[in-house]
Amino acid sequence: MNINKSNPLLLHPLNKWMKKKKWSWFPHQIETFHHVRTGSDVVVFAPTGAGKTLTGFINPIDDLIKLKKFKGLHTLYISPLKSLANDIVRNLEKPIKELDLNISFQVRTGDTTPYKKQKQKQKPPNILITTPESLALLNSYENAKEFFHNLKYIIIDEIHTFLDNKRADLLSLNIERLQTFSPNLQRIGLSATLKNKQDAKKWLCRKKPKIVSYENSVLPKIKILETKERIPWSGHMATYSINEIYKEIMKSKLTIIFVNTRAQAEYMFKNLWLINKKKLKIAVHHGSLEKNLRLKVENNLSKGLVDCVVATSSLELGLDYGDVEKIIQVGAPKGINRLLQRVGRSNHNLNTPSKAILVPTNRFEFIEAKAAIEEIKKNNLDQIDLKEGSFDVVAQHIFATACAGQFDINDLYKEIIKAYPYKKLKLNDFKQLINLIQDGGYVLKNYDQFKRIFQLRENKNIYKLVNRRETRKYRMNVGTIIENPMLKLKLGTKTLGNIEEVFIQNLSQGDSFIFAGQVLEFQSMKNNLVQVKRSKSLISKIPSYSGGRMPLSTNLANSVRALLAKSNMRDLYPDQITEWLKRQKNISKIPKKDEYLVEQFPRKKNFYTVIYTFAGWHANQTLGFLLLRGFKEFNYKPLGFVANDYAIVLWSLKEVKEIKKILNIRLLDKHLDNYLEETSIVKRLFRDNAIISCLIERRLPGMEKTGKQVLFSSDLIYTVLKKNEPDHILLKSSYEDAKKNMIDYNRLREILKKIDKKIILKKLTSISPLAVPIILEINRENLSKKETDEYILEDLENEILKEANVLSIN
Amino acid sequence: MYYQLINFGDEEFYAYPNKSLYWKRLNTLIVSDLHIGKSISYAKNKQFLPPYDTKEILNELFVSLDEIKPSNLIIVGDLLHDIFSTLSLKDQDHKNISQYMENTDFIWIKGNHDKNIQIEGFKNFTNYEIDKFLFTHIPIETPLFQICGHYHPKVKIVHRGKTIFKTSFVHNEKIFILPSFGILTGGLDINSKEISDVLGKKNLNIYPVGQDKVYKL
């Protein structure tokens, strides 16, 4: 089609409004309109500021005006965040109100009042803006079919956030359900720029799939903070740079400082206030803050009432904060996409470049930051790998289906395998998941009289919910996002936010920590309330952050390796980094792009082996555990290991003479299963699986279980099941999850497959410059929970015995 | 089997890692809070716990009985979780139990969970006195030394920055509380109000149960 010659959008109802605003249509909007009108499912890739939201609504609005006074639900818009959903409503309101179009639209999320939800069900709007969880709930109602049977479009916003997780699985199943209700349904996906656009298309589109892409030609301006200070070997808090960061904040009207963890956010915020001589308005924003506090910060941000906000990924997606002038990223970027997303938060204007400064917190991060900038210049984005769908989400979906009414399992299976993540779901696994919902799916049929769903006697393929009470349980447990056990933090009667139970358990009365930018003193914990008071002390512990370490993307890791191998160091780095690398070159070696450097040296009576994999923390952690086993087998008497994104260090009593015999693909095949058995990874994932599949409930009607109770009973179930029914579908599901996510199985496999021919072994007399950062990180214990527990008990008992002996001798 | 020696009321008791207590002088084995059939009882609310608890609890008990061959077995309450629990006892289980009853005297003290339930062949007591010891589910006002259950005590241990919870035997001068012998049974912190009200907070002897060993704190 020749877009320039004929622009069908000039006849669109919104054209008048566009003209009034002196805006013109983007080429991708014209193209999308055409494809959708001719019956295609489309994924649109466009940067922020390129009218993405409007792009999704062009066809629905056109249709609705042509259909005149269409009654019922016509278009469903899915947003990843509640706050975004509200923002969409505001954006949609402007043209519809100003043009006085006869189109109704409403938002429906967890925050919508029951009254309003009820009204929506009786009299649905033409356009409904909602979240994947709310969609799943709508599909679980008995009248879901009537509600959706005229649905024409489903628009998935920020589809790139939905591709590689369980939320995506849930959404994909519910989209297929909608397609069953309304076979004419068309799908429109809106995405930030992606490397593997085809994958997004495969995931979403069924009818004449099309990709529409609009690339931004204006590259962001990103540089690394120039510092006169010494960049430390290791550490993650960027204390050295605080004064220079402060100067950068002063230079711009409005700055967002992005950090990677909540602990970093609190620390940065606190430190900025300590040097805030100019009385700048600085705020902090992270996911654990109470909603009202967060909204206040967001509000101040959009009105330009603050000078700087320190934030975690909580501010990554979402609202347009037009006045943000500069982004400062403190800590490793971890991935190109993530960095671009963050950088894109400044200057929401297509034609002016975003501005960002990167602040590496240590020397490896400097190289990573530099590599990220290079990749962005080349527009080399990270790949988002689609994953195979998880079993537990299917189980939840089966329960939801039963809530909506009796169903035929063959029909349900056929519908599920239409969803891209479940193309390969085996009938046998599906049947086990049916059993899981029916009675827990145990081999021992003890629960015949207590089923949740049952087969009709006249037709064994039809299943039905035992009683309607169960629907309430489903509705209180819908969704795939499982938080760590959290406790409510109370200052007087005011709620400050949520904090990890694990962190609080380690505190004694009077211990202090930073939260929401204040130093607080722990007083007491009761049920799930933690009472604190303001502390006068400035010394504090910092909330731990267990919300997941962000993995270093494979793409960026490769780029780091390539950069490191370059010989023109003086052009690339400041003197201190160059010196560090030069010394490394003289003493040991700097690995080439496809080489794996292994250094070995004696240190303090022990023998050290450092392996530079650049595989990311997850994969390195797993490799460390596997190597421990390998070393043990060869009788090198290993003592421990530490891993970070770039390397692993192991120390042993004996010299590791034959590393090449251990470090290869056989290591994975031989020890992985064993490793999974013994560590708590699968156990932890089992908890998520048990909750998502509704085997155990996180919330019962009328009462909320505290996190610990859930954790406790799921651990017991896990132990009992493993012993008695090792083939149970939920164990299988947890094991698959472990392989997929936690241990970065495929990445490790790829590396180990080719590693043996590429090992460069350096025997040194002492520690190398490149090894210093990871050696400094040695302080963690790397024993499994079971071992740690025994160790703690043993140790404590010995200490007490010792004390007792001393006393008796005296 | 490894055991931890505990002196209580001038008598010697052995605490085993399987959460049973043995009184050697009288060749008496003591267990508490088995909560047999808890999984079944949860299943009636559609919370499907794995149905292996009954089998596992009984097996563990039978192993102890085989090894120790006690003259008496005292169950200090909550043998069963509730009335549905009896559903999980199969004919074979009943047969096995009656076989063990031939050599061992089963003394079933009723707990709050099973006070209204009967099983054929079992002798029931609200509490049971031997010498200066009273066996009871929940402690009562008495000058005697008491051995009881009910609370499922566990201890919170903070050591070198790590926190763990461990099921424990615990006693003060007069009252001894056994841990739960059950599988899917939770626990209550020794510092909780409920347990403090019974044992007080001071001079507690705490014996956390490890993998193959009972420790002493």
**3-state SS class at A690:** helix
- Phi, psi angles (nearest 5°) of residue B174: -115, -25
pLDDT tens digits along A35-85: 999 999 999 998 877 888 899 999 999 999 999 888 899 999 999 888 788
Rounded to the nearest integer, the mean pLDDT of chain A is 86
B137–chain A nearest CA distance, Å: 24
Where is B108: in which H helix or E strand? strand B105-109
Residue B144 contacts A where some CB pair is shorter than 8 Å: no
Domain assignment of residue B216, yes or no: no
Domain assignment of residue B217, yes or no: no
The reply to whether A221-377 shares the fold of A8-213 is yes
What b/e sequence results for A484-521 when a residue is b if at least 16 CB atoms lie within 10 Å of its CB, and e otherwise?
bbbbebbbeeebbbbbbbbbbbebeeeebbbbbbbbbb
Ordered alpha helix ranges (H), A507-603: 554-565, 569-572, 575-587
| Percent of chain A topping pLDDT 70 | 89
Structural domains in chain B (count): 1
> How far is A316 from A301, CA to CA, in rounded Å?
13
* Mean local confidence (pLDDT), A244-257: 94
> How far is A134 from A161, CA to CA, in rounded Å?
17
> How far is B109 from B130, CA to CA, in rounded Å?
13
pLDDT(A483) > 80: no
Helices and strands (H, E) in chain B, number of each type: 4, 15
Considering only alpha carbons, which residue of chain B is nearest residue A721?
B50
Q: What's the pLDDT score for residue B154?
A: 92
> How far is A464 from A530, CA to CA, in rounded Å?
43
- Higher pLDDT residue, A746 or B130? B130
Q: Is A113 exposed, middle or buried (0-12, 13-18, 19+ CB in 10 A)?
A: exposed
Residue range of the domain that includes B163: 4-208
Query: Is there a contact between B182 and A714 (Cβ–Cβ < 8 Å)?
Result: no
A372–chain B nearest CA distance, Å: 36
ipTM, 2 dp: 0.84
Residue A576's identity, in one-letter code, is Q
Q: What's the pLDDT score for residue A684?
A: 80
pLDDT(A710) > 80: no
CB–CB contact A720 B53 (8 Å): yes
Cα torsion A29, A190, A311, A483 to 10°: value is: 160
Assign domain A221-377 to its CATH superfamily. Answer: P-loop containing nucleotide triphosphate hydrolases (3.40.50.300)
Q: Which of A242-246, A389-393, A414-418, B119-123 has the lowest mean pLDDT?
A: B119-123
pLDDT(A783) > 50: no
pLDDT(A742) > 70: no
Q: What's the pLDDT score for residue A764?
A: 94
For B4, what's the count of Cα atoms within 13 Å in the CB-facing half-sphere?
A: 24
B62–chain A nearest CA distance, Å: 18
**How do the domains of chain A map onto residue ranges?**
8-213, 221-377, 406-484, 487-534, 583-779, 785-810
Query: What angle separates helix A729-737 from helix A707-724, to the nearest 10 degrees?
Result: 110
**3-state SS class at A318:** coil
> How far is A413 from A397, CA to CA, in rounded Å?
11
Rg (CA), chain B: 17
* Mean local confidence (pLDDT), A420-425: 96
* Mean local confidence (pLDDT), A585-594: 93
* Mean local confidence (pLDDT), B15-42: 94
CB–CB contact B211 A795 (8 Å): no
> How far is A437 from A477, CA to CA, in rounded Å?
14
pLDDT(A506) > 60: yes
Helices and strands (H, E) in chain A, number of each type: 31, 28
Q: Computed from CA positions of residues A403, A409, A414, A420, in that sequence, does the dihedral angle turn out positive or negative?
A: positive
Considering only alpha carbons, which residue of chain B is nearest residue A724?
B52
Query: Is there a contact between A384 and A194 (Cβ–Cβ < 8 Å)?
Result: yes
* CATH number for B190: 3.60.21
Residue to mutate among A435, A438, A443, A446, with most B CBs inside 10 A, is A446
- Residue A707: which pLDDT band, with cuts at 50, 70 and 90? very low
For B135, what's the count of Cα atoms within 13 Å in the CB-facing half-sphere?
A: 24
Q: What's the pLDDT score for residue A792?
A: 57
Residue A542's identity, in one-letter code, is I
Cα torsion A438, A440, A443, A447 to 10°: value is: -70
Considering only alpha carbons, which residue of chain A is nearest residue B159?
A792
Q: Which of A193-202, A422-431, A543-552, A615-624 has the lowest mean pLDDT?
A: A543-552
Domain assignment of residue B154, yes or no: yes
Domain assignment of residue B186, yes or no: yes
A–B CB contacts, 8 A cutoff, strictly below: 104
Cα torsion B60, B66, B71, B77 to 10°: value is: 10
Residues of chain A neighbouring B51 (CB-CB closer than 8 A): 440, 442, 444, 446-447
CB–CB contact A723 B52 (8 Å): yes
Q: Which residues contact A250 (CB under 8 A, 6 or more apart)?
A: A278, A280
> How far is A169 from B69, CA to CA, in rounded Å?
56
Domain assignment of residue B153, yes or no: yes
- Phi, psi angles (nearest 5°) of residue A765: -90, -25
CB–CB contact B158 A508 (8 Å): yes
pLDDT(A810) > 60: no
> How far is A789 from B156, CA to CA, in rounded Å?
12
Q: What's the pLDDT score for residue B101?
A: 95
Residue B110's identity, in one-letter code, is K
Both tokens of A288, joined, read 């654990």
CB–CB contact A797 B215 (8 Å): yes
Domain assignment of residue B145, yes or no: yes
> How far is A169 from A479, CA to CA, in rounded Å?
11
**3-state SS class at B43:** helix
Is the domain spanning A8-213 CATH 1.10.760.10? The answer is no
**Any idea how long chain B is?**
217
* Mean local confidence (pLDDT), A327-344: 90
> How far is A390 from A734, CA to CA, in rounded Å?
9
Both tokens of A617, joined, read 């923390």
Residue B143 contacts A where some CB pair is shorter than 8 Å: no
Residues of chain A neighbouring B208 (CB-CB closer than 8 A): 793
- Residue A261: which pLDDT band, with cuts at 50, 70 and 90? confident
Strand positions, DSSP E, A377-493: 407-408, 453-455, 462-465, 486-491
